[in-house]
Structure 1
Amino acid sequence: MKAIAIFFLNVLQNILGMTFGLLFPRKTKRNSYKALSDVDKVKYLEKRRQCKGYKKQWLYYRCREEGLLEAYNELFKTELEKQDSGTKFSFGKYRGEFVEDIWESDKEYVNWLSQQDWLAQYLDESDMIHELLLLEEENQN
């Protein structure tokens, strides 16, 4: 008799649980890895890499396996790769600085520099300086 009562109580509990489960679904949403965007997948993998203590190469190879290299390069391009598109001074007080940045901050120095005879031995910088001076003259006219 006791076993039958326990059986019916379990059936009643299951019926009530299913009924309330259908009427009041849980509010929590589980983020599926597949539903994430490529950038979010790479961010997730980076967090996982840091938590597990894996080397940085692990993230690159994992992204390569899953076809996420574009998102990986977008997120983790080094600053040097992003800034390496300009010409840097290889001499003087602005050594290592971009010519365009110095042009914006110290035009007098660049004008003085363009009048120096010895600038010809630094061909890359002199070409860039002459281009900036020509652009400035065109803008003034």
Structure 2
Amino acid sequence: MKIAIGNDHAGTEYKAAVVEFLQSKGIEVSNFGTDGLESVDYPDFVHPVASRVNDKQVDLGILICGTGNGVAMTANKYPNVRAGLCWNKEIVQLIREHNNANILCIPARFTSIPQVIEMVRVYLDTEFLGGRHTNRIEKIPLKC
């Protein structure tokens, strides 16, 4: 499995913990986030992740910023991306089961690192349910 990860300055410590967790599971990680704490612009780190998920160069993506909203808004501009903002494992399970989310967006300022590791575990372990949800997923892309 290949996962792309990106973060701004608010998510640096979280990203390091998530990368360590993923690598311990034998998952290949492409890191597009900052490793510093100095203020940066989150879109610069979202686009490399979202474009790789969009083009199926990686299986899944993870994005981390202060609220998770900025990274989710940016990632969801890509036609094949379904980025979900989550702050607990129950929501993570639902974005995978119901929305077939391929990018997990995490609000670093509203979660703890242990909580995020559990969220990532659920993200990896949960499958899309299909069925009635498939029709809904197919209606998401804008058809102009």
Normalised by the length of structure 1, the TM-score is 0.23
Larger C-alpha radius of gyration, 1 or 2?
A: 1
Of Structure 1 and Structure 2, which has the larger fraction of its residues in helix? 1
Higher relative contact order (CA 8 A, sep 6+): 2
Which structure has greater strand proportion? Answer: 2
After TM superposition, the score normalised by the length of structure 2 is 0.23
